Amino acid sequence: MAEEIIAQLSDPFRIALSVGLVLTMLRTEGVSGRWIPLAAGVVFIAVLIPVTMQPREGAARIVAIGAGLVSTSLLVGVVMALRALVLRAMGR
């Protein structure tokens, strides 16, 4: 499972989707809130990639989805932390 998480953390498609998720959440935060859209987006990304793409050799789909939940959550957390650092540096 650790190998699957490491492979997913370096997946450029998952990184781009995670950044897009945070940017979309920021634009719609006033209407839809923050945490529910982020949680729904993390689940969507975690399920979308293993279901639509070829599974890695030796990786079961359920393991890939579970690892996707962990890795996507970490990526979204990193993007949110970077946003907080940028806002702090800008004095907001």
Q: Give the model's confidence band at 14: pLDDT under 50 very low, under 70 low, under 90 confident, else very high.
A: very high
Number of domains in the chain: 1
Q: Which residues contact 13 (CB under 8 A, 6 or more apart)?
A: 49
The CA distance from 9 to 41, in Å, is 16
Q: Which of 16-20, 35-39, 56-60 has the lowest mean pLDDT?
A: 56-60
Query: Is 70 exceeded by the pLDDT of residue 58?
Result: no
Give the pLDDT confidence score for residue 91 in this predicted structure: 85
- Counting residues of the chain whose pLDDT is more than 90, the rounded percentage is 72
- When pLDDT is averaged across residues 40-69 and rounded to a whole number, the result is 86
Q: What is the pTM of this model?
A: 0.88
The per-residue pLDDT of the chain, averaged, comes to: 91
Range of the domain at 62: 2-90
